[in-house]
Amino acid sequence: MRLTQGTFSFLPDLSDAQIRAQIEYCLGRGWAVSVEYTDDPHPRNAYWEMYGMPMFDLKDAAGVMAEVDACRKTFPRHYVKVNAFDATHGWESLRLSFIVNRPPNEPGFALEREEAAGRIQRYSMRAYATARPEGERY
Amino acid sequence: MGKMDQVAPQASERYRAGVMKYAQMGYWDAGYVPADTDVIALFRITPQEGVDPEEAAAAVAGESSTATWTVVWTDRLTACERYRAKAYRVDPVPGTPGQYFAYIAYDLALFEPGSIANLTASIIGNVFGFKPLKALRLEDMRLPVAYVKTFDGPPTGIVVERERLDKFGRPLLGATVKPKLGLSGKNYGRVVYEALKGGLDFTKDDENINSQPFMHWRDRFLYCMEAVNRAQAATGELKGTYLNVTAGTMEDMYERAEFAKELGSTIVMIDLVIGYTAIQSMSKWARRNDMILHLHRAGHSTYTRQKTHGVSFRVISKWMRLAGVDHIHAGTVVGKLEGDPNSVQGFYNVLRENHNPVDLQRGLFFEQDWGGLRKVMPVASGGIHAGQMHQLLHYLGEDVVLQFGGGTIGHPMGIAAGATANRVALEAMVLARNEGRDIWNEGPQILEQAARHCTPLKAALDTWKDVTFDYASTDTPDFVPTATAA
């Protein structure tokens, strides 16, 4: 399977030039870019690991790209995403979030069920990879 | 000072039994300066032949506040000057003889806090059938912050919905299950599964899917949630289906909403026809239960579409932001249903902005401060397809749910392929826009390029590329920008 979280997951993997263009778009709007990684891709996993702090004061796309590259080199078999944070009053959340690295093989998720009364199913989904310890999953 | 001062009668005269012009009764005051805490309503009035527009405006003010057709001495037991609404300004509608914009101010004390039912019982309660007027339309309202803050507003709002679903930077994608009537629960869930697995974020019950002989509501909910959970596991992405809990009584609606919650649904849906009080009740329920609340505007065109009579949808949008819904259908511009681009953008701005400036070109007559109330996600639904993606993004921006019902389910390669086509078209267009490309002009080429790596998108473009709904709108703004001499 292909994990389709993030803004551009239905497109072919973005090239470095494409990633850089998106970063420039974000910086041009005054958003703070950050890089996060994980090997637990459950969609309710709200807290991917932060690869450093959001780059509030970095206005140069090349500098952000260097961080993206460093994260991808350190965690080549993890999911890595680029986030853009907008601190404007009334928003104060992400404006863009897209995946820039993914494991070579994505086995996907098991859907587990528990039978309940009245044909109700209690669903639970689990990434096959997370049966193994963190850091050894992909 | 206004006319009123020239004709103002002495109190003994004013309260003598009998019939008197509304203007003379105190409902017209050209010198009135609205207080920051006043509710202001702007009506389009079409007086009967021979009826003076100021008297007509005063009559609207009177009938929507304290007046009755004759003088009553019991007014003098109240602070009646304060409780009277005041018509204070009448302007001819540009280019439309016989119609006038009447501005009427209402004291805040006239309204119960937090009740759309009470607000509307005054403002649109009796006055629309008033004989001296041929027609009457409520065009816009200014809601003072003091009043706005008595409402809870959307239980979730755009930002929290995005955080909860972990979806940023692009419009969300949905589809209404079709055919809208007749599918069994099992077949219905099939459509949901295919569409969500293929790439949509949401599927939706239609407004008239409740609990009918061909599909009872419990069956629908069970099969739909099977579909949602299967699709989430297949994609690793959060998905939802708007389970329509509309029913004949509040008791039934609560029962259905509770069941949706028990099954783990992230969103429930109601129809506008359930009424303002029922909407506010469901909003409270949604807030208590961390549920996104989707509102289908079923029935609105009976009173929003014609320009001379009814209530503008921009007013309905304001009321629904106060009442507290998270999604509301607000027009597509390019699809099969009524929607002038400027009018629709006016509705979207009302739903999505922290603060609306006066914007006559988009039909917004008043500055409106939303006092921190959360934002409502507009939904664009009805006759739209992947080939219009650049136009949709251009007109509607990215905080919107784009719903392609026929444009997903009618795809020649199947429902999942239809969903994929829409998602690829959308992501390609957002990527291109962010790269600084001119999507309005280059849109068709951007879609063609994206279709090179996506056969379903190519098939969608081949099937629908020439479909447009190019009819003149009826609900258009009255003000157009005029060129100023340099």
The pLDDT value given to residue B65: 93
pLDDT over 90 (residue B215): yes
The pLDDT value given to residue A4: 98
Two structure tokens written together for B299: 């029935």
Nearest CA to B295 out of B315, B273, B311 is that of: B273
Shortest Cα–Cα distance, B227 to chain A (Å): 11
The pLDDT value given to residue B334: 85
The pLDDT value given to residue B483: 53
Give residue B4's pLDDT band: very low, low, confident or very high (50, 70, 90): very low
> For the segment B378-387, what is each residue's pLDDT rounded down to a tens digit?
999 888 899 9
The pLDDT value given to residue A58: 92
Please, what is the angle between helix B341-352 and helix B389-396, to 10°?
A: 60
Q: Minimal Cα distance from A128: which residue of B?
A: B233
Name the residue facing B427 among A7, A92, A110 (closest C-beta): A7
One-letter amino acid of A51 = Y
Q: What span, in angstroms and rounded, lies between the C-alpha atoms of B57 and B47?
A: 9
Is A97 in Cβ contact with B233 (below 8 Å)? no
Is B236 in Cβ contact with A43 (below 8 Å)? yes
Is A21 in Cβ contact with B163 (below 8 Å)? no
Instruction: With beta carbons less than 8 A apart as the criterion, state whether B90 and B59 touch.
Output: no
Name the residue facing A93 among B159, B238, B420 (closest C-beta): B159
Phi and psi of B14, rounded to 5°? -55, -35
pTM summary value: 0.95
Question: Is the ipTM value over 0.90, yes or no?
Answer: yes
The pLDDT value given to residue B482: 57
Nearest CA to B220 out of B258, B190, B196, B255 is that of: B190
Residues A106-130 have a mean pLDDT of 96
Question: Given CB atoms, is B452 within the 8 Å cutoff of chain A?
Answer: no
Does the active-site annotation cover B453? no
> For the segment B385-440, what is each residue's pLDDT rounded down to a tens digit?
999 999 999 999 999 999 998 889 999 999 999 999 999 999 999 999 999 999 99
The pLDDT value given to residue A129: 96
Question: Given CB atoms, is A7 within the 8 Å cutoff of chain B?
Answer: yes
Name the residue facing A12 among B170, B233, B453 (closest C-beta): B453
Give residue A98's pLDDT band: very low, low, confident or very high (50, 70, 90): very high
Is A108 in Cβ contact with B236 (below 8 Å)? yes
Please, what is the angle between helix A16-28 and helix A61-74, to 10°?
A: 130
Is A10 in Cβ contact with B427 (below 8 Å)? yes
Q: Say what percent of chain B tops pLDDT 70.
A: 97
Residues B285-301 have a mean pLDDT of 97
Choose the weakest-confidence range: A49-53, B65-69, B173-177, B313-317: B65-69
Question: Given CB atoms, is A17 within the 8 Å cutoff of chain B?
Answer: no
pLDDT over 80 (residue B480): no
Does the active-site annotation cover B327? no
- Residue-wise DSSP of A62-118: HHHHHHHHHHHHH-TTSEEEEEEEE--TTT-EEEEEEEEE--S----EEEEEEE-GG
Q: B444-449: which pairs have CB atoms within 8 A and are 24 or more residues apart?
A: B444/B387, B444/B390, B446/B390, B447/B386, B447/B387, B447/B389, B447/B390
Q: What span, in angstroms and rounded, lies between the C-alpha atoms of B330 and B389?
A: 17
Catalytic option among B261, B296, B300, B385 = B296
